[in-house]
Every structure is written in C-alpha cells, then in structure tokens.
Amino acid sequence: LRTLDATLSELKVEEIVIASEMHDRNQLLFEQMMKLFEAHLMAPKITEVSHVEFKQRTEDSEAVVRTGECTPYANVILKSGVVF
C-alpha cells in the first residue's frame, strides 16, 4: 500500500479494476486501498471482473508496478487520464 500511496500523489485515478474474488479473499486490503483513495480525494469507478478476465486485461497494460505484495488477489489495474 505504500507504493500505491506514493503513486496516488502523482496521478488522478479514474477507474480501478479488481478481481471480484478480492472481496472474499482479501477484503481488508480492499478497504485499506479505498481509504487511500479517499485520503487523496479520489473516488474512482470500481470495476470488478473474474480473476481470469483480470489476467486477460493485464495483457494490454501500459506499465506494471511490482510492489512485492504477496497476499491473494491484491493486484489492481489503475486507469488514469491526463491531469493538468
């Protein structure tokens, strides 16, 4: 979450995509992540997809940030526009 906190100071997240399994397998991380968005005055659209679809969507990613987080279903796709 520290990596996400630092990242949020540099961009405006319009949408996040998570695996719907995150709620059953990692609800605490989801709640902590949402608090970070609130702290940065952001309320991104939340899109939930199956874990399989999530992995398929990562094939079109522009960048990947590896945080070392090892809890299940902790990956998130951030969608951002231009901020200026």
In whole angstroms, what is the distance from residue 41 CA to residue 9 CA?
A: 10
In whole angstroms, what is the distance from residue 11 CA to residue 50 CA?
A: 26
Average pLDDT, the chain: 89
The per-residue pLDDT for range 30-50, each reduced to its tens digit, is 999 999 999 989 999 999 999
In whole angstroms, what is the distance from residue 20 CA to residue 22 CA?
A: 5
Average the pLDDT over 11-37 and give the result: 94
What pLDDT was estimated at residue 60? 85
Nearest to 15 by CA among 31, 37, 36: 37
3-state secondary structure of 68: coil
Q: Where are the domains of the chain?
A: 2-80
Give 2-80's CATH code, choosing from 3.40.640.10, 1.10.3720.10, 3.40.1650.10, 3.40.50.300.
Answer: 3.40.1650.10
